[in-house]
């Protein structure tokens, strides 16, 4: 139905590790069924089990369906991403 790919890593800004949710994918036929929420909840549980201090991810501004879910699961930051 879907998958979540996460990366645990050190941070120069925190004393605990961080968890970057690098990819979250749900098969189109299962979107809107709660699978994405279950995956993010599982990522949170895994992060808690590893004593990770922060879980974060990026999404595109125009991805309204995903952002409406993410707004219920996490706090949006004011960071702007620059890329070379």
Query: Does residue 81 have a pLDDT over 90?
Result: no
CATH, residue 41: 3.40.630.30
23 inside domain: yes
Segment among 6-10, 26-30, 50-54, 79-83 with least mean pLDDT:
79-83
Domain that includes residue 22, residue range = 2-73
27 inside domain: yes
pLDDT band at 82 (very low <50, low <70, confident <90, very high): confident
The number of domains in the chain is 1
60 inside domain: yes
Q: What is the pLDDT of residue 80?
A: 86
CB neighbours of 9 closer than 8 A, spacing ≥ 6? 17, 18, 19, 20
């Amino acid at each position: 139905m879907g998958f979540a790919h996460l990366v645990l890593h050190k941070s120069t800004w925190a004393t605990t590790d961080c968890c970057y949710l690098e990819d979250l994918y749900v098969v189109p036929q299962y979107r809107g069924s709660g699978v994405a929420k279950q995956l993010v909840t599982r990522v949170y549980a895994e992060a808690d089990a590893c004593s990770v201090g922060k879980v974060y991810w990026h999404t595109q501004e125009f991805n309204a369906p995903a952002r409406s879910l993410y707004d219920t699961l996490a706090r949006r930051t004011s960071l702007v991403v620059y890329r070379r």
